Amino acid sequence: MSEIILTDANFDAEVLKSATPVLVDFWAPWCGPCQVQGPIVEGLAGEMSSVKIGKLNVDENPAIAQRYNIMSIPTLMIFKGGQVAEQLVGVTQKAKLKEKLSALS
């Protein structure tokens, strides 16, 4: 499954109402660690068909970032059933993400 570009407008429909778990990468283009995390998340999108994977630019979509109190980026949140099931702050390696996602899907 390819990754989805999330926005303030589509977040609720794509994430909170999703029938499958969703990994959301909260990031910004100026953030160095986000540039490291991005390809890891993109790689997962191609490997894990049982989960939805999306990216949300916190500069362009501040309402959702504020709703979830995103203070540091990258922050990864895994949603299941419309609720935050897991939150990871900082660069997270692919193996750890796969483990967390597999446990929820």
Q: Measured between alpha carbons, how far is 46 from 49 in angstroms, rounded to an integer?
A: 7
105 pLDDT more than 80:
no
List the domain boundaries for the chain.
4-95
Beta bridge mates, 75: 26, 89
Question: What mean pLDDT comes out for the span 87-103?
Answer: 95
Q: Which of 34, 45, 56, 78 is catalytic?
A: 34
Q: Measured between alpha carbons, how far is 22 from 16 in angstroms, rounded to an integer?
A: 9
Concerning whether 45 is annotated as a catalytic residue, the answer is: no
* pLDDT band of 22, cuts 50, 70, 90: very high
DSSP letters for 17-77: T-SS-EEEEEE-TT-HHHHHHHHHHHHHHHH-TTSEEEEEETTT-HHHHHHTT--SSSEEE
Q: Which amino acid is at 83?
A: Q
The predicted pLDDT at position 1 comes to 61
pLDDT tens column, 41-89: 999 988 898 899 999 999 999 999 999 999 999 999 999 999 999 999 9
Concerning whether 5 is annotated as a catalytic residue, the answer is: no
Q: Topology of domain 4-95, per CATH?
A: Glutaredoxin (3.40.30)
Q: Which of 1, 28, 31, 88 is catalytic?
A: 31
Stated pTM of the model:
0.95
